[in-house]
Amino acid sequence: MGRLDRCYNIADLREVARRRLPKGVFEYIDKGAEDQIALGGNRAALDACKLLNRVLTDVSDVRLETPILGAPAALPLVIAPTGIAGLTWHEGEFELAKAAGRAGVPFTLATGSNTPMEKVAQESGARAWFQLYMWREKELSYELVRRAAKAGFEALIWTVDIGHGANREHNARNGFSTPYKINARSVVDMLRHPEWLATVMGRYVLAGGMPEHVNYPERFQSRFTGGASRKGGHATSLRADKVSWEDVDRLRDIWPGKLIIKGVMRADDAQRAVAHGADAIVVSNHGGRNLDSAPATIAVLPKIVAAVGDKAEVIVDSGVRRGSDVVKCLALGAKAVLTGRATLYGVAAGGQAGAEKALAILKDEMKRTMAYIGAQRTTDIGADAIWRE
């Protein structure tokens, strides 16, 4: 029996990932910011949300198929952008994308990924979305947008909740940064995890060097040197901190596909996003990784759904670990859920097979939960399923 066969839920996959990955890599994906308040708040709010079972109903044909942004998906789920996937498994983004393709759900490639966007869009078999961070030299970001459109990505997600960067103190304690840098602490960390060293970092080195942010524009890459990459360097300091709704207009002008604004936590911001041409918004507190004082996403979700109405699709992320969590989000008005850590634990545990295992677990749990609440289709999931005191 393989280690994936002994994984019965996302928590089991997380434990396999924890054991396999260097501490710096694992805590980068597993932890939030500062005191982990927002991280814990996401889970606490989902746990506190209860569902009412419905009895004596026909649940012989429960189906999870859901249209997302006008195209079919096998379940109401999208794999979120996770830029460090390529450090959890060799070409981890590509493994995740292939798993998404097999499962019939969209996959989002992060700006800071280590796999070329063209490979993901053209070879993975998944509905490919691209996630954007805006650089201070915005024309460099527009280069990425045009390149993604040319490669065939169907949707663009602009992540807007970045402020002045995140205070993730565990990274400093672990000597961890992105791109991955060689220092005393990271060397010790790697040596304590020989399987990861051989199958991930070793493969990158044998292929020609350390993993790089291969999708950064060449003009951007050429500015940096450092211990982590022949071209790239730590670019957080050059992310745009002077942005406005006019930037949404600009993206709407140059992007031909679906435009999604991610990181919305206020109803008025959601309304503005729709007014400026967004096809969807993602209610997100970045998985508790940025503003540690942020409320849970499902706490603000209903007001945002009410504010947007049918003018755009509302997607939600942060904290989802069970299929029942997905059902709760749909009952509160979301069209679909972005999952980041759940599938990242999967790919860290077993590459494409691990990611497929994570998706299969969520799908099975969701189907079972829908049967309990008497919903044969995702469109049957309504607010009446939520128990309120």
Coil/strand/helix, residue 61: coil
Give the 3-state secondary structure of residue 316. strand
Tens-place pLDDT, residues 139-185: 999 999 999 999 999 999 999 998 777 889 888 888 887 767 778 78
Q: CA-CA distance, 348 to 357, in Å (whole number)?
A: 12
pLDDT tens-digit map of 187-230:
888 889 999 999 999 998 888 777 778 888 776 554 433 333 34
Please state, rounded to an integer, the average pLDDT across all residues of the chain: 91
pLDDT at 371 over 70: yes
3-class secondary-structure state, position 290 = coil
Task: Identify the band that residue 186 occupies on the pLDDT scale cut at 50, 70 and 90.
Answer: confident
**131 burial class (0-12, 13-18, 19+ CB within 10 angstroms)?**
buried
- Mean local confidence (pLDDT), 9-17: 98
Cα separation, 167 vs 304, whole angstroms: 27
Q: Is the pLDDT of residue 321 over 90?
A: yes
Phi, psi of 234 (to 5 degrees): -75, 115
What is the structure's pLDDT at 216? 83
Q: What is the pTM of this model?
A: 0.93
Three-class SS state of 389: coil
Confidence of residue 236 (pLDDT cuts 50, 70, 90): low
Using DSSP's 3-state secondary structure scheme, residue 166 falls into coil
Q: What is the pLDDT, as a whole number, of residue 238?
A: 66
C-alpha span between 175 and 120 (Å, rounded): 30
215: nearest Cα among 323, 303, 128: 128
The proportion of the chain whose per-residue pLDDT surpasses 70, expressed as a percent, equals 94
> Which residues are part of the catalytic machinery?
286
CATH 3.20.20.70 is held by the domain 4-169+236-385: yes
pLDDT digits (tens, 9 = 90+) for 280-319: 999 999 999 999 999 999 999 999 999 999 999 999 999 9
Kindly give, in sequence order, each residue whose CB lies less than 8 Å from that of residue 219, ignoring residues fewer than 6 positions away: 140, 143
The Cβ of residue 188 has, within 10 Å, a number of other Cβ atoms equal to 12
User: Where are the domains positioned within the chain?
Assistant: 4-169+236-385
Q: What is the share, in percent, of the chain residues with pLDDT greater than 90?
A: 77
- DSSP string for residues in 65-127: -EEETTEEESSSEEEPP-TTHHHHSTTHHHHHHHHHHHHT--EEE-TT-SS-HHHHHHHS-S-
Cα–Cα nearest to 157, from 281, 243, 67 = 281
Give me 36's structure tokens.
């982990």
State the pLDDT at residue 49: 97
pLDDT tens column, 374-383: 999 999 999 9
For the chain, give me the number of helices (H) and strands (E)? 17, 10
